[in-house]
Structures are given as structure tokens and as C-alpha cells.
Structure 1
């Protein structure tokens, strides 16, 4: 199974879950429900560790010796993420209710009403709450940028390596089994057909929004740099299709760098911005997360408002720092926010994981292609800043 990519395994798990849930006896579904309960509790235990292990060293690494270029690149990336989130929200507000067509799965608020209970439960209490983990991560990350020593930062880098192993060796391999059990249980309860039919439309909307976001990014970069946005997009297409295959922004960096240099970006700017943006810029993933989260909330009988989603978008832009190096990393980094800010329960979180991973490659491809547009903007803004500094120095002399 390890030779099969994550996406095929997720799709296979969903298909097998639907088939088994249609024909299996109750006791077998209860066995998988028991596994789901154990794995779900372990996931809740791991979420604060994931947040602490990725965000704290991520902020520390970003803050040391970066200078003005870091500020420009980070500001542009964060702005792009916010725009992507708002685009998804307003499109979702306009279209998603019609996809649901007035129906809802209000039972998701109490999943025991349509999901079989596990045979037994093993409690796994998290070492801290999600918001505590976030606040501690920000405090330690910012603190590590302010002190001279690097002992604590190195310790957190080692801790991050442990968490990466935990995700790569335990959580990700077991996710397909967990998703299989959830879909088998939902099929047994008669809910899965409606969910799949709804999210087929949501996926189509997400792909359209990815394209719209890329057009926005390249229109802006073309206007700022005085270049044809269509030509810029064509130049970046090799990076898009490479990311579709790799499902990894990091693995696509060599191709992204090559194509960005063909856009006329200075080599120094490209070498700094492309790897950094691969870490902090996830506009495509943000669109997917917001769209799927709103769909799940509507299925739960709750209409999301801007007042609920906007704080989530703002925090998501920061939390995305935790995503790189983790398969399906964006959704893993977002689980804590979905739980603490939007009130998602275990079933809703599992649905989010399955729905996100089913189209992860398209979100990654949008992230990577957008990096090209943002690098063009950073290149232009850094030139302007350098000219300003040169003029100020001349006046002063």
C-alpha cells in the first residue's frame, strides 16, 4: 500500500467504506467504529503537539536574519491568503446553500444518532488545549527570535522532526483506515450518498475558485510589474503540473525556481522568496479548507457568517506555517482551529480530512503557481524599496 499514493488510498478507502457499509453486519461496523474512536482520540491528543512542534520553530526560523525581504514576502503571502479565504467565503455564501438544496444533516451535531457506537473507548487526554498550544507557540516562536542563543530553537527543531515522524509513520498511514471506517459507518446509517453528491459540486466550485485566484494573483503581479499576466501564467504551467504529481510545494521548488527566473525575477530574490513562499503561502489550500468547512457546517444545519469565518481565516494564514513537510499538511495544521474556533466534532474533522485530501494535489498546484505571481510582486517591491533607500542616502549626503 505504501507504493500507492495517498490520494488513491483515500479514494479507495472511501469506495470500500461505502461498499462494506452497504453489506457488512452490525458487529463489523462496530469494530471499525472502535478503531475510529481510538484513532480519533489519538488525533485529538496529537493536535496540540503538531501546533507546538511546527509553529514555534517556524516563527523562530522566519524571524532570524531575514531583514526587509522577509517582511515584504511575508506580508504579500499573508495578504494573498486572506484574499483567498474571503473569495471562498463569498463564493460559498452565494452557491453552497443551493448545493445543499435546503437539506441538512443535523444529526452530525450528535453523531451517535446515526453512527454506531464503538465497543469500548480509550481516553487520551491532550497535554494542553488547542488555544493554549497556539498561544504558547507564538510566545516561544517570537521569543526565540529575540534571544541570542539557539539552544531552545534547536530543541524545537528536533521536536518538529519527532512530530513529522509521528505524522508520516503513524497518522498518515492510518488515515485511510480511519476514513474507511467513518464512511462505512455513515453508509450503514444511510447518510453517505447525500454527502458525496453534495461535495462533488463543492469540488467543482473549488477548482473554479483556484483558477479565479490565480487570475487575481497574476493580474495584480502583471499590473505591478508591467507584464502580460497571461504570459506569466503560461510560463508557470510546468510548476503547476509538477505540483499536481508531487502533491508537495517543497518537492516542486526546483521547477518553481526555474520558471520564476524565466519571469525576469532577479536570482537573489527568487532564491529567497520561492522556498519561503513554499512554506508560508497556501492560497489554494485556504480556498479548499474554507469551502469544505462551510459545506460541512451547512450539512450540520448551521449557516456560517463572516463574523465566524473571518477570525478563522486570519488565524489560518498564520497557522499554515505548520503545513510544510507534512502530507496533507494544511488540513492537519488546521484541525485545531476547526475544533476550537468553528466547533467541529470528531466526525466533522474526519470529513474535513477526507474531503481535503481528495483534492490536495489541485490545492498544492495552485499554491505553487501562485508563488510565481507573488515572487514577481516581491521583486518589484524590493526594487522600489532599494531605489527609495538609495535616494534617501543621496539626500542625506
Structure 2
């Protein structure tokens, strides 16, 4: 099966899981729902265990494949991701400052919402699966090993890391991807039965619409810029990323969507070695969609409660937010948790304002994550072009048990 039919099939199953989760949430008995939520807890714990290994297994050999220019392209990718995140935050801030005074000016009497995690329907039990190391440790280890591979003679370590990559990807292909639709079903089932969507949308419906509209504007802007950079049709590039968008919409996790994002990037013509380097890295450091949503909701809280907004101080908050949220990947809702300290320290949010932010953010967390993930594809396309046609030599696949994927890349 070629990449495009495979991705289309996954897209259909993901969308089916979303629809069935919402519909079943209205009539499923609680004991039956808790069965699916128990599965989700186990699956999520396994994902948490696997994600650091996935980062090491993908990023390390990818950096090694880049050769002696790896450090340079690491910096280029990080700079592009950070710039995209900051521009997203500034865009949201400008829109909020211009539109909120008349859009939300009359809505001053808003009760604080309880943190949805305190009342959420949960599974029967949970299993602790502690990862071998944390996400940041995995990134640092990957960078050190990958750059080290480019500096020393011999191929032993490089081949070993490539074997690790194949092992991790087999686990992903045989376990993670087949179970993703069921996991997504459980996510939306729990969200519907907990009543979080209706509660938050009824309270902040206008802000939600602004956030969704700006997410579309942001993605179009990213892919127009990428299309101009590489001389490709931005509409085609964006369309090819829809499976990753749908998967992230269901999982609320950039890290859990990495395998799908990798495949979509390859459909867009990004070489596997470049995609294996850029996509896992961007899943960690590129949070443009999350930043956009945090800025919109935090300024909405401040506008509704009548809190003065210092424009210069808020720009500083956005710049710090782009750095602080590096610790957020892999955990649904992790971006808002990482931002709580900045909300309190730089914007002066009290417990009520923080609870309102958490409740609003988590309920539609998946839309910000989907924007993050889809933007990762634009970054991958740009970096692939910047590296150049001969800067990366794809590793030769000589093992019969893992045939190379058919070349689905459009002609450049």
C-alpha cells in the first residue's frame, strides 16, 4: 500500500473515532465508558514511556545522516520554529487587543470554571509506566549522540542507532497506529460525558471562534510562506498534512502524532532523513498553535475581568512563552500547565483566573495541538529545501524485512 492511500485510510478511521466518541458520549452508561477510559489511561502511559525512546531513535540517526552540518541545521530548525511560535503569539495579541474591547466588553460577569481534571470521569485503574528518561533528556542525548556520530570515524554507533530506529518504528506501526482510532474514541467519549465542551463553548464561544479562525489564518500563512520558499503549491502541501491534523485533533499530543506527521511530510517530498530530524524536534519546540490559544484566552480573561494589559510586558510574556513551553510536548494539555508559572508571575493571574484558563484551554486543547503539528510539516518542507538536494544521502535499506516506502514525492 502506498503512502497516500495508507494516510487516507487512517484519516477516515480517526474521523470515525471522533464522531463515534461524541455520539456515544450522550448515551453510554458510566461503567462502559470507564472501560474505554481505562484503556486510554494504559495507552497514554505506554505513549509516555515510548516517546523519549522514539525521540532518541529518530533524532539521533537523523542527525548522523545529516553529516558534519548537523549542528548548523539544528540551529536553523530551532530558529524557524521559535520565530513561528513568537509570530503566532504576536498575531493573536494584536487581534485580541483590537477586537476584544467591543467583542467581550459587555461580558464582565463570568463565574470561574472548575478545573475539569478534578471532576472528570476516569478509568477503573491506572498503570504507572515510568519512561527511562524525560523528554528534555532524550533531546539532549539525541543531539549529543547524533553530533558525535558526525565527528568520529566508524559506523558502529550509527548502525546501532539505525537499528533502534527500526525497532521503535515497528512498535509504532504494529501497536500505536492501529490503536490510535480507539484511543481517540475514548478521548472524545470522556470529553463529551464530562460535559467540558458544552460548558466551555457556552462560556467562551466567541473566543473559541476567534481562535479557530486565527488557526486557519496561521496555517495558511505558514504554508504560503513555505510554498514560496520551495516553489510549490501551498494548497497541495497543506492538504497532504490533513491526516496529521486529524490525528492530533484526536490525541491532543504532538508527540503521539509524530509517526503520522512523518508520513505526511514524506508525501510532501521531504526526504525521510530530514523528516526524521525535523518532525520530532519540531514536535518539541514548535508550539505556534498552543501559543496562539494561550494568548487569546489569557487576554480574554484579562479583558473580561477588567485587568489592565501592559502591551510591552505582554510581548515579553510571549517571548518567554515560546521558550517555556519546550517542556510541554507529549502530554495533552501540557502547554497550559507549563505556562501557569508565567501566567502567575508575569501577568499576575490568581487561582481563579488560572482555573478559568485551564478549564477553557484543556477542553479545546486538540485544536492548538493540531495547528502545531500541521505547522511542523511546513517547517520540514522549508528545511528540506534549505539543506539542498545533495546535502543528505538517504540511508540504504538493505534489510528484507523493512522494504523502502514507494516514492510518493512530487517532482520538484
TM-score (norm 2): 0.61
SS at match of 1:54: helix
Q: Please name the residue that 2:250 is paired with.
A: none
Distance 1:250 1:35 in 2: 31
In structure 2, the partner of 1:36 is: 40
Kindly state the Cα deviation for residue 180 of structure 1 after the two structures are TM-superposed: 1.5
CA distance in 1: counterparts of 2:46 and 2:297, whole angstroms: 26
SS at match of 1:6: helix
Distance in 1, Cα, partners of 2:31 & 2:213: 37
The runs of 5 or more residues in structure 1 that have no matched partner are 222-231, 257-273, 317-330, 380-397
C-alpha contact (below 8 Å) 1:51/1:134 kept by paired residues:
yes
Number of residue equivalences: 321
Confirm whether residue 51 of structure 1 aligns to residue 67 of structure 2. Answer: no
Q: 1:238 to 1:19 in 2, by over 3 A?
A: closer
Equivalent residue, structure 2, for 1:15: 19
- How far residue 25 of structure 1 moved from its aligned partner, in angstroms, is 1.1
* Equivalent pair of 1:308/1:342 in contact (CA under 8 Å): no
- Does 2:321 match 1:309? yes
* Residues 307-336 of structure 1 deviation map (CA, whole Å, 9 limit, x = unaligned): 5422257x59xxxxxxxxxxxxxx9xx427
SS at match of 2:25: helix
Instruction: Report the Cα offset of residue 159 of structure 1.
Output: 0.5
Residues 194, 173 of structure 1: alpha-carbon distance in 2 compared, 3 angstrom cutoff? farther
SS in 1 for 2:267: coil
Hey, what does 2:268 align to over in structure 1?
252
Give me the CA root mean square deviation. 4.7
Query: Structure 1 residues 158, 354: closer, same or farther in 2, change over 3 A?
Result: farther
Match of 1:27 in 2: 31
Structure 2 unaligned blocks of 5 or more:
245-263, 303-313, 341-358, 390-412
Which is worse superposed, 297-306 or 362-371? 297-306
- Cα distance in structure 2, aligned partners of 1:286 and 1:132: 12
How far did 1:58 drift?
Answer: 2.0
Task: Identify if the C-alpha distance between structure 1 residues 16 and 341 changes in structure 2 by more than 3 Å, giving closer, same or farther.
Answer: closer
Structure with more of its chain in helix, by fraction:
1
Alignment match, 1:335: 330
For the 8 Å contact 2:226–2:381, the answer to whether it is kept is no
Deviation at 1:169, TM superposition (A): 2.2
Given the two structures, how large is their TM-score scaled by the length of structure 1? Answer: 0.63
3-state SS of the aligned residue for 1:43? helix
Distance, in Å, in 2 between the alignment partners of 1:75 and 1:188 is 44
Specify whether residues 179 and 355 from structure 1 end up closer, same or farther in structure 2 by C-alpha distance, changes over 3 A only: farther
